[in-house]
Amino acid sequence: MIRVLPAVTATAILLSSTASAQTVLDVVAWKGNEAEPAGLPELIEKFEAENPDIDVELTYVARKDVDAVIPPRLQGGNPPDVTMVDSSLVDLWGGAGFLTDLGTDSAWYDQMVPAVRNVMTTDGEIFVYPLEVIGMGNFVNMDLLAQAGIDKAPVTLDELKAACQALSAEGIAPMIFAGSFPAMLYVGANGIDPNGASPAEYGSGERQFVGDDNFNASLDSVRDLVAAECFDPELQAGLDPWATAPQEFRSGNVAILPQGAWNIGGFSAVEGLNYQFAPMPSAYTEHGLALDLVGPGWAIPRDAANAEAARKWVDFFAEEENLNVFLEAEGAYSPFVGGVSTMPELAAPYTEARAQGSLILWPFSTLEFPKALQSEWEDSITGFLLNIDGDNEDTLQRWDDVVEDNL
Amino acid sequence: MRARRSLYLFTVPALLVIGLFFIHPIILTFDMSLTNYKGIGEANDVGWRNYERIFTRDRYLNEIWLTLWYTVIVVSALTVTGLFFAAMLHRLPLIRNFSRAALYTPAMMSFVVVGYIWQFLYSPLNGGINVALRDLGLGAWEQNWLGDPSIALYSVAFTQIWMFTGFTCAIFLAGFAGIPEEINEAGRLEGASSWQRFRYLELPLLGPSITVSVMLTTIGTLKTFELPFILTKGGPDGATRLLSIDIIDNLFGQYKFGFASALSIVMLAIVLAVAFIQNKVLRDREQS
């Protein structure tokens, strides 16, 4: 027994020293919980298997709580090793010098979709490894369309109006057009010409919304939709776009819902709901316009304790097969050129529009439009729907005022 | 004299707690309101610019007015309904305990749960209220409860009144319990009707309960955030955008911590002013 004791002690010391050599990588994200796993549990397991000296400790923090939880850690010099960020956080934290420049010489930098790369690079520095772009467009109930004798999701304005009239004639509610988010998507898709002026020109005040032909035509086309019986503007103006509207679509009460692809998982879980995800009908294209929202990415805080391990984490996601696990779980597209599409077949119309180059990056997600403008868009378009015969100028002037306030 | 001094010493811990956790944060907030702080990084001094913006823009003055109007509606309705149910239950001892618990139940529910339930009830598309009206042959009364700017504020207020009627009712029931039975007995012997006893005997004696109820509901309603946020997010087109919603929007929607702090200080000043005036008026009334 006395002989065995030193051996046991030595083994214990060896094991404990091995354990203390383990790097614990502190990762904070608003994905990865049970409700929205985003493939992270599987990816963490794989990362740890490839890097046996690193233990990943993922802390889930809801996006709305990130603003309160992370800044004190960044300022106190005790940040997580890796944190999930979106464009507004990159702007805020990166601008204050709290994020590490990941380097434009990174292997993945040149592979980024040029439009994404341009908006993510500031003064030659890039603070984020982007994980995804998420589509926004129309969810279309194909069974309800079939009842009206239509077998294709509408992607042009004429097709949309024809579908509305046919659905309305059958007594089917054609479309959700809640004044805030859904209406914003439509107005944006018909106001921003993918081959015309950059949204940044509007957001910087260089170009004004008032008097702009595109945005005036966009608001006019909303009146055309009303005339085609797509929706009752007064009834839908104040409809909640996040709870009531998706519930109506889920229940099969309405044929078309403008929303984001993040709903695909939820809608696909509804038994018997036969739907497609299509691009937004737009005056500028016959393919429909894909509205890509630049999603979250990984950033390494300036004072990260385990910067080297954090780099390994970012590089791990830069490998296509790993990123694809995340993208497939998210129902999102790769922000890198040549990425394999992991989107389900029901999103084929949207994917096709992207393949045709018929897409824009949603300017609120790239900060080309100031953040304050988003709530003004929501409010003013609601006001526009409540007074559909009012002057376009009343609505557009409000946008210019907010832009001016933010200059 | 020495004993008196030592009595004051006992207040020191309480004063320290108040100073540290109440006064100090207010001073910090005021300090932040004079900057353009974004929640992280440098805070640059901007003087009174944030306050100037608040008092020169219609948007913020409208929000202040809306917050006060909303408070008037909710507090008046809560006082009347609470008093009504308390007076009824005071006269119906057999169902008093059960009814008090039933009325109080909504106040124990989470704002989030209440908000989402009422959102579906108010929905213009197959919402419970419109469907019920239709089924009752009252289809002409159907409304876009949360989508019509002219009634959205009242719909939100109704939900809050529904939620907290039990709370004010409980306060008034406690007040009724404190009224000596002999007074009612004397009223009965004099031939006073139930209404006369309520109006001329009970109501004046409920003065302290009314003061407590009005003060608590006023302060709570002026700070209301959850229900309007869940039901309408301040819409449609700003029709229910109370001061508290704009504070949160500026804080976490736009990262304007400095400006949101200025709005918070304005809100604090309003709450203090209203509470002070109300307290003075109600106390004077009680004593007269």
Cα A363 to Cα A115, A157, A224, A285: the distances in Å are 11, 22, 25, 18
pLDDT band (50, 70, 90) for residue B136: very high
Instruction: Give the list of residues 6+ apart from residue B186 with CB closer than 8 angstroms, or none.
Output: none
- Check whether A13 has a pLDDT greater than 60: no
- Check whether B2 has a pLDDT greater than 70: no
Give the nearest chain A residue to B43 (CA atoms): A96
Contact A234 B152 (CB under 8 A): no
pLDDT band (50, 70, 90) for residue A36: confident
Residues on chain A touching B144 (C-beta within 8 angstroms): 234-235, 237-238
- B40, B149, B249 ranked by CB distance to A92: nearest: B40
Q: What is the pTM (predicted TM-score) of this model?
A: 0.79
pLDDT tens for each residue of A276-306: 999 999 999 999 999 999 999 999 999 999 9
C-beta separation of A361 from A294 below 8 A: yes
- Check whether A16 has a pLDDT greater than 70: no
pLDDT of res. A10: 57
Pick B285 or B61 by higher pLDDT: B61
- Check whether A207 has a pLDDT greater than 90: yes
What average pLDDT score do residues A255-265 get?
93
Q: Work out the mean pLDDT of chain B and round it to a whole number.
A: 90
C-beta separation of A30 from A62 below 8 A: yes
Residue B119 neighbours by CB distance under 10 Å: 21
- B40, B116, B254 ranked by CB distance to A98: nearest: B40
Question: A229: exposed, middle or buried (C-beta count within 10 Å: 0-12, 13-18, 19+)?
Answer: middle
Cα B57 to Cα B50, B52, B54, B62: the distances in Å are 11, 9, 6, 9
- B40, B42, B123 ranked by CB distance to A244: nearest: B123
What average pLDDT score do residues A9-32 get?
71
- Catalogue all structural domains in chain B, each as residue range(s) with its CATH number: 58-287 (1.10.3720.10)
Contact A383 B236 (CB under 8 A): yes
Give the nearest chain B residue to A383 (CA atoms): B237
pLDDT of res. A8: 57
pLDDT tens for each residue of B231-275: 988 878 889 999 999 999 888 878 889 999 999 999 999 999 998
Cα A164 to Cα A149, A175, A228, A256, A287: the distances in Å are 12, 7, 6, 9, 18
Long-range contacts of B196-205 (CB under 8 A, 24+ apart): B198/B87, B202/B87, B202/B176, B205/B175, B205/B178, B205/B179
Chain A residues near any Cβ of chain B (below 8 Å): 64, 67-68, 71, 74-75, 88, 92-93, 95-98, 173, 179-180, 234-240, 243-244, 247-248, 253-254, 371-372, 375, 378-380, 382-383, 386
pLDDT of res. B59: 86
Instruction: Give the list of residues 6+ apart from residue A75 with CB closer than 8 angstroms, or none.
Output: A98, B40
- Check whether A4 has a pLDDT greater than 60: no
Cα separation, B70 vs B72, whole angstroms: 5
Nearest CA-CA partner of A160 in A224, A247, A241: A224
Chain B residues near any Cβ of chain A (below 8 Å): 38-42, 116, 119-120, 123-126, 144, 146-149, 152, 232-238, 249, 251-255
The two beta strands, A173-175 and A125-126, are unpaired
Give the nearest chain A residue to B152 (CA atoms): A238
pLDDT band (50, 70, 90) for residue B1: low
Nearest CA-CA partner of B272 in B211, B212, B209, B223: B223
Interface test with B, best of A70, A172, A239 (most B CBs within 10 A): A239
Angle in degrees, CA B223, B228, B231, rounded to 5: 155
Contact A235 B144 (CB under 8 A): yes
Q: Work out the mean pLDDT of chain A and round it to a whole number.
A: 90
- Check whether A265 has a pLDDT greater than 70: yes
- Check whether A99 has a pLDDT greater than 80: yes
pLDDT tens for each residue of B171-188: 999 999 999 989 888 988
- Check whether A117 has a pLDDT greater than 70: yes
Instruction: Give the list of residues 6+ apart from residue B42 with CB closer than 8 angstroms, or none.
Output: A96
Cα separation, A289 vs A194, whole angstroms: 9
In this structure, chain A runs to a length of 407
Residue with tokens 């824009």: A360
- Catalogue all structural domains in chain A, each as residue range(s) with its CATH number: 24-130+296-330 (3.40.190.10), 134-293+345-405 (3.40.190.10)
Give the nearest chain B residue to A176 (CA atoms): B125
- B42, B152, B252 ranked by CB distance to A238: nearest: B152
- B41, B234, B252 ranked by CB distance to A67: nearest: B252
Asked if this assembly's ipTM is beyond 0.90, the reply is no
Half-sphere exposure of A251 (CA within 13 A, CB side): 12
Angle in degrees, CA B39, B44, B50, rounded to 5: 80
pLDDT of res. B101: 87
C-beta separation of B209 from B171 below 8 A: yes
- Check whether B214 has a pLDDT greater than 60: yes
- B39, B148, B237 ranked by CB distance to A379: nearest: B237
pLDDT band (50, 70, 90) for residue B40: confident
Inter-chain CB pairs, A–B, below 8 Å: 99
Interface test with A, best of B56, B57, B58, B125 (most A CBs within 10 A): B125
pLDDT tens for each residue of A218-254: 999 999 999 999 999 988 888 888 888 999 999 999 9
Cα separation, A131 vs A121, whole angstroms: 15
Write the Ramachandran bin of B266: left for phi over 0, alpha for psi from -120 to 50, otherwise beta. alpha
Cα separation, A228 vs B87, whole angstroms: 56
Give the nearest chain A residue to B251 (CA atoms): A67
Nearest CA-CA partner of A298 in A58, A45, A78, A33: A58
Contact B235 A238 (CB under 8 A): yes
Residues on chain A touching B255 (C-beta within 8 angstroms): 67, 88, 92, 371
Interface test with B, best of A63, A74, A386, A387 (most B CBs within 10 A): A386
- Check whether B94 has a pLDDT greater than 80: yes
- Check whether B116 has a pLDDT greater than 70: yes
C-beta separation of A109 from A103 below 8 A: yes
Cα separation, A299 vs A97, whole angstroms: 12
What the block records as the tokens of A357 is 């180059």
Q: In Å, how far is B57's CA from the nearest CA of chain A?
A: 12
Q: In Å, how far is A325's CA from the nearest CA of chain B?
A: 31
